[in-house]
Amino acid sequence: MSSDSLLQVDADALFRMEKIKVNNDRWPFPDLGGHIEIPLCSDDQREHFFLDISRKRIALTTKYQTRARKTIVLARLDFNSPHRNPDDSEVGVPHLHLYK
């Protein structure tokens, strides 16, 4: 298994895990074309996460996503980006992607 994949049971556990702020920093909402990564961790501080907030230049807020282990996207909420899934089904907006 590659370093950027998880067993589904592990991804589900990480998704359900309570996430807390790692510090008291304030994060301004990103300007158009901007992106922020807010660091989070589990209660026991063994797992580290990021809450990503990105904005496109033309559309308003595009996505919110939660990442575990630096690169693994556990969940992503898209607001302005309809597209096709790998099975060729069309996904409207808004929509939620969960790790599988």
Q: Is 94 helix (H, G, I), strand (E, B) or coil?
A: coil
Sheet holding 48-55, edge to edge: 19-21, 35-42, 48-55, 61-68, 72-78, 95-98
Q: What is the pLDDT of residue 62?
A: 65
pLDDT at 3 over 70: no
Arithmetic mean of pLDDT, 22-34: 90
pLDDT, tens only, 56-85:
776 555 678 888 888 888 888 887 767 787
The mean pLDDT of the chain is 85
- Tokens coding 66: 């939660």
pLDDT at 50: 94
Q: Report d(CA 75, CA 65) in Å as an integer.
A: 5
pLDDT given for residue 90 in this prediction: 85
